[in-house]
Structure 1
């Protein structure tokens, strides 16, 4: 092979490469993008979902307003049930056990601190052995006075 043949062969390869490149640019279809594909960070929400969330928000706002104005407490049912218990106290029964018994049968509420009241007023050492009739209409002070007599 001489120089001229080598040059002609190189020119043919370059020409073929140029044609393939041009064909690829103009005639080759780009991969079709999925119309449903969204860029990251974008969420599609249906209008019905938006309305449902708006209704939920408005309900929660109304509940918050009622709570702030205190109408929740006014509309709450009052305690009409009267609970009664014959409290049996044995030697060495700690005030914590008495409080648990009273809370278990709804004589006192969960937020009342019977033990703290008994300790603060010096009744812990004065608790008597025996059976005492207590009910849910009695205050913590009345219950304490009943069991120290």
Structure 2
């Protein structure tokens, strides 16, 4: 091949590259596969899962509506002690739980578990405390015995391994 043919081929490659760069820059659809087209394939599958989840939610709501009716019919049954376990410490009862922290667990999840266990009253406060630079990214994997008499700071120090 002579120099002019090689030079023409190089210029053609440069122009094609420049056109592709411009097409990407200005979001022109020139028939190249994109991430969006891959996601479009899964839309129908996700919509089916959403419909199924909505049906399950509706079923659970119906069960919740029926549950109070069943409880009022059984007046002779003794009350369960589950509620007593999770009462706030101001009422004299101490809520205790084992908090299990796994790899990759987010501060939101930890705070929500503590609130659900009755150890803390407001998960948002705990989540904000764990987001503090002092504790951020320091959650330690393991099982921790926590109770409602502990302050948020004490719990944060325990589950992050910070010194007391």
Normalised TM-score (structure 2): 0.42
- Decide which structure has greater helix share: 2
Larger Rg: 1
